[in-house]
Amino acid sequence: MTENSSASGGTGLPASIEAAWGLRDRPVKGPKPGLSLDRIVAAAVEVAAAEGLSAVSMGRVAKELGASTMSLYRYVSAKEELYVLMQDAAMGLPEPLPALEEGAGWREAVGQWAWAQRRMFQRHLWSLRIPIAGPPASPHSVAWWEQGLQALEDSGLAEGDKISAILLISGFVRNEALLMSDLAAAVEAKGVPPTEVMGQWERTVQRLVDPVRHPALSRLLATDVLSEPDEPDYEFVFGLERILDGVEALVEKSAPS
Question: CB-based burial of residue 86 (10 Å sphere; 0-12 exposed, 13-18 middle, 19+ buried)?
Answer: buried
- Whether the per-residue pLDDT at 1 is higher than 50: the answer is no
Residue 52 contacts residue 126 (beta carbons within 8 Å): yes
pLDDT digits (tens, 9 = 90+) for 176-197: 999 988 887 887 787 877 777 7
Residue 20 CA to its chain's centroid (Å): 18
Has residue 16 got a pLDDT over 90? no
Confidence band, pLDDT 50/70/90 cuts, at residue 6: very low
Model confidence at 228, pLDDT cuts 50, 70, 90, reads confident
Does the pLDDT of residue 165 top 50, yes or no? yes
SS3 77: coil
So what's the pLDDT on residue 195?
72
Count of beta carbons in the 10 Å neighbourhood of residue 157: 20
The confidence score (pLDDT) of residue 5 equals 41
Least confident of 56-65, 145-154, 180-189, 210-219: 180-189
> DSSP assignment of 5-65, as one string?
---TTS----HHHHHHTT-SPPP-SSPPTT--HHHHHHHHHHHHHHH-GGG--HHHHHHHH
Which residue did the predictor score with more confidence, 54 or 227? 54
Q: How many CB atoms lie within 10 A of CB 141?
A: 17
Domains of the chain (ranges, CATH numbers):
15-91 (1.10.10.60), 98-191+227-254 (1.10.357.10)
Select from 33, 31, 32, 14 the least CA-distant residue to 23: 14
Q: Cα angle vertex 227, ends 224, 231, to 5°?
A: 110
Nearest Cα to 184, choosing from 109, 239, 192?
192
- Average pLDDT of the chain? 88
Residue 34's pLDDT is 73
pLDDT of residue 27: 60
Residues in the chain: 257
Tell me the mean pLDDT in the region 103-124: 96
